[in-house]
Structure 1
């Protein structure tokens, strides 16, 4: 069996959750889940939720196009259709808004991965996870690119997120695959590298969409293109894990 980074003893502790991380204003905070409650601890009102969502969407567009340094609060406000003063009411500064965007992205990704359970059928669970991640790449390509750019640039804003809590959560996810292996449900592949493969292959279609379109002669990737890609990824990954894909 290839050496893995988890052991059978860890398989009983499967879903440790990442906790919100807090910092001073100088370094900001990456929280997961992202901004679900108002300062009072009560659910945010409908207008506030609507405005925050509009701001985060506009910020995603600008950060994906121009990067953190090339984006201004003014351009985000214009994109969101809100006065700049309103923008500062919800997010004190650009770094705070950037952190909120990253938090939103990671929350969506991590909540999807948390759905995996040792009681699941590996073929069905992996197929569903791949389809969900590919749909995220189709619907939110810019969010994926922002995360990729942050990591490539050194991941300064993700330093505390990639902490002991995150590593514990990651080991819990790997333990699900290890449990499947020990139950004889899939071949003895290294769960850690399998997770990297799942992440990399599904996010590739968002991060490198321009390259894919150039190579395939398309102007853009359609929903059908993404469904075809999902089917191929499912077939390749499941077969590589010794799992027979559903007919």
Structure 2
């Protein structure tokens, strides 16, 4: 029983330290880029000895990939609604809301991703060719199904996804510019709500999105 408790405490401490390091790494990688960041800078930001950093993440690339994993998994979770949504109104609305919440609370991870891709993805090209490609294909199939059912106007699914990514991730990647244009202040809760509603309005009205109940051929099935 004592050994089990000790193992649980050890595992909890490990997760706590890993989360601390990844959060610090997000900021350093976002500010300095992969090439400019050092493990010492990240250790200092995390308030841990450099040796501890290497214990959890032996190399800078391993740590960098963990940072990428974190933001990508957040984006995957944001899209979970796609698979369960009755139609595009619920699916796209929830996806936009979740993506904006990710940009609001985890801007540094998004910046790391953007900087990496802008440079031609030298570290994570395999990631783009595998995980991102498979994910994009699966969501495109759902969008095509909605179009086929008459729930939204025809559009290339990738164009729609790219539009949502650019509109939502802009609030993370260009955080400083948005803050400057907002009288050097962070967006308020009310402003974030307005952003969500505005982007959803652009997407849903622009694509003529309908509720399932508005399509007799579907609701009668």
Q: Confirm or deny that 1:91 pairs with 2:33.
A: no
Residue correspondence of structure 1 range 93-112 to structure 2 within 5 A: 93-112=59-78
**Which contiguous aligned blocks of 4+ residues in structure 1 show a shift greater than 6 angstroms?**
none
Q: Contact 1:209/1:221 (CA < 8 Å) preserved in 2?
A: no
Match of 1:114 among 80, 98, 103: 80
Q: Contact 2:96/2:168 (CA < 8 Å) preserved in 1?
A: yes
Q: Confirm or deny that 1:179 pairs with 2:151.
A: no
CA distance in structure 2 between the aligned counterparts of 1:204 and 1:148, rounded to whole angstroms: 10
Alignment TM-score, normalising by the size of structure 1: 0.77
Q: Which residue of 2 aligns with 1:38?
A: none
User: 3-state DSSP class of the match of 2:16?
Assistant: helix
The 1:96–1:216 alpha-carbon spacing in structure 2 relative to 1, beyond 3 Å, is same
Q: Which residue of 1 aligns with 2:106?
A: 140
The 1:90–1:197 alpha-carbon spacing in structure 2 relative to 1, beyond 3 Å, is same
CA distance in structure 1 between the aligned counterparts of 2:131 and 2:111, rounded to whole angstroms: 24
Residue correspondence of structure 1 range 157-172 to structure 2 within 5 A: 157-164=123-130, 166-172=132-138
Q: 5+ unaligned residues in a row in structure 1: which ranges? A: 1-43
Q: Which residue of 2 aligns with 1:79?
A: 45
CA distance in structure 2 between the aligned counterparts of 1:96 and 1:164, rounded to whole angstroms: 18
Q: Which residue of 1 aligns with 2:219?
A: none
Name the structure, 1 or 2, with higher relative contact order (CA <8 Å, separation 6+). 1
CA distance in structure 1 between the aligned counterparts of 2:69 and 2:109, rounded to whole angstroms: 10
Alpha-carbon deviation of 1:119? 5.0
Q: 5+ unaligned residues in a row in structure 2: which ranges? A: 1-9, 212-221
Q: Which residue of 2 aligns with 1:155?
A: 121
Q: Contact 2:81/2:94 (CA < 8 Å) preserved in 1?
A: no
CA distance in structure 1 between the aligned counterparts of 2:187 and 2:131, rounded to whole angstroms: 36
CA distance in structure 2 between the aligned counterparts of 1:167 and 1:68, rounded to whole angstroms: 23
Q: Give CA deviations for 1:2-30 in whole Å, capped at 9, x if unaligned.
A: xxxxxxxxxxxxxxxxxxxxxxxxxxxxx
Q: Which residue of 2 aligns with 1:125?
A: 91
Q: Contact 1:114/1:173 (CA < 8 Å) preserved in 2?
A: no
Residue-pair matches, total: 203
Q: Confirm or deny that 1:66 pairs with 2:32.
A: yes
Higher Cα radius of gyration = 2
Q: Contact 2:152/2:210 (CA < 8 Å) preserved in 1?
A: no
Q: CA RMSD in A?
A: 2.0
CA distance in structure 1 between the aligned counterparts of 2:50 and 2:84, rounded to whole angstroms: 48
